[in-house]
Amino acid sequence: MFVAIFSIILIIIDQFTKYLAATNLANENSVVLIDNFLRLYYIENRGAAFGILQGFRSLFAVITIIVLLALIIFLFKNYNKVPFIYLLSFSLLIGGTIGNFIDRVRLHYVVDFISMKFFGHDFAIFNFADVFIVMGTILISIGIILHDNKRWAMYKNNFTVDLSSEGLRLDKFLEKKLDINRSQIKKNIDLGNILLNKNIVKAGYCLKCGDKVEVSYEDDFRILPEKIEFDIIYEDAYLAVISKPQNLVVHPGAGNKKGTLVNGLLHQFDELSNPIDEDRPGIVHRLDKDTSGLMIIAKKDEAYYKLVDMFKNREIEKHYLAIAHGNIFNDFDVNAPIGRDPKNRIKMKVIENNSKSAYTSFKVLKNFNNFCLLDVHLHTGRTHQIRVHLSYVNHPVVGDELYGKTNKSKINKQLLHSYKLRFIHPITGENMDIVDKFPKRFEDFMKKFNEEIKIEGIWCNNCWSRCKRSICFIWI
């Protein structure tokens, strides 16, 4: 509404001043406002602004229509997201462009009447519409500088509803898929930016298996580099392996525009790849916010595509360390399907209906007090798989408030760490065996029980940075 009203006011000002100029200055009269600098002088301009490119009236008309349509469409789609400085600048551009367009259609020329001189030479003859256009362009430039930390980027994605999501509300389904909050999802549904089977539906629509959801909306933030602390375990020209700290979100999303691992990656690495999603540069796979440990980062596109296929085809061996409640004396496997908990949509659980196969191997490294340290081999990659499987066998991860139970030590973040990755380098073909050092928070927790037990096959904190042996001992 503001843009329309302000643009109309500008058009009226432009047309009225042109009428006054044509009425009072058409007979070669001129009015000097500032000697040797500014005067009013009537001229019929058949070219572009400031009198350039004479004789291209049809071309100017076509360009004007294209520019106007582009501005109007952009404003229609982004009006509520655009900062006020841009609304003001677009109003000036629309008002000025339409003002001159009216002249070209009605008179076949544009009335110019403001003449400026610099150092005794005529600089240009123009009108108020030209002034509005120049002011609008200047304000856009200022806006870009002031809002340098923002951008408009189109997010597009398609989703197919599977059995595990059948019955969910559309907005609830997308809340887990998109990096915007539920109110923003509803707004995009209402605007038609989110379609179900090519149709606009309500946010509360109950999904059916096989439904196709199309998402296309403007995102309005730029991911900026930030100094975020994390260890680089391995790096070459194609990829890197880093150790993500606990309590660190992997990539920006709703409520997490800053302070994520991606912000830190942009600060640390000159080159990162993600040709599929530019808002997640370098990210091939993820860890939960409160799960720490090793992650592979793609630096070049060729490595990215091959790594994605390797994860999909389960060609990357992933091992985690977990401290679980209770004592376990034998290694064991859990091969039980995981799906969304029908009673709590935030949680996953072992369930037969609407689920996917999930397979995890557990090796007992140590029992202490009423806890155990486990080496966990993740064969599949379901959401919360380790946490769900350990909870399923009544040995939940210590500190896991979603699937676990309270503990006397008041640990409120899961003791779960991705400590080993084995894979073939996607470019060089080299066998990669990357092992992280033992997490300090694990060590601090275990030291509370004052037991000295050696564990074979994991780096110790003391020798990890020096010897890097394939077999080592931890002394707790």
User: pLDDT 10s per residue in the chain (476 long)?
Assistant: 788 899 999 999 999 999 998 888 877 777 888 887 888 888 888 766 555 555 566 676 788 788 888 878 877 766 655 677 888 888 999 998 899 889 888 888 888 888 887 766 666 678 999 999 999 989 888 877 665 444 455 678 899 999 989 999 999 999 888 877 777 788 889 888 899 999 999 999 999 999 999 998 876 556 778 999 999 999 999 999 999 999 999 987 755 668 899 999 999 998 898 777 777 889 999 999 999 999 999 999 999 999 999 999 999 999 999 999 999 999 999 999 999 998 888 899 999 988 999 999 999 999 998 999 999 999 999 999 999 999 999 999 999 989 988 777 788 889 999 999 999 999 999 999 999 999 999 999 998 886 544 444 444 444 433 333 333 433 33
Q: Do the Cβ atoms of 307 and 375 come closer than 8 Å?
A: no
3-state helix, strand, coil in the chain (%, to 5): 30, 30, 40
DSSP state of 51: G
Alpha helices in 120-269 (DSSP H): 128-146, 170-175, 182-190, 261-268
Would you state the pLDDT for residue 149? 46
Tell me how far apart the alpha carbons of residues 141 and 185 are, in angstroms, rounded to a whole number. Answer: 30
How many C-beta atoms surround the C-beta of residue 83 within 10 A?
13
- For 313, the 3-state DSSP assignment is coil
Beta strands in 222-283, from DSSP E residues, in sequence order: 231-235, 239-244
Kindly list the strands in the beta sheet with 212-219, ordered across the sheet, starting from the edge strand earlier in the chain: 153-160, 212-219, 194-196
First and final C-alpha spacing in the chain: 69
Would you state the pLDDT for residue 119? 67
Would you state the pLDDT for residue 320? 97
Q: Tell me how far CA of residue 48 lies from CA of 57, 64, 220, in angstroms.
A: 8, 11, 34
Tell me how far apart the alpha carbons of residues 295 and 418 are, in angstroms, rounded to a whole number. Answer: 8
Which secondary-structure segment (H or E) carries 71? helix 57-78
Residue type, 230: F
Q: Using CA atoms in the order 390, 391, 395, 401, what is the torsion angle rounded to 10 degrees?
A: 110
* Of 288, 375, 400, 436, catalytic: 288
- Helices 2-25 and 128-146, interaxial angle, to 10°? 150
Is 288 one of the catalytic residues? yes
- For 177, the 3-state DSSP assignment is coil
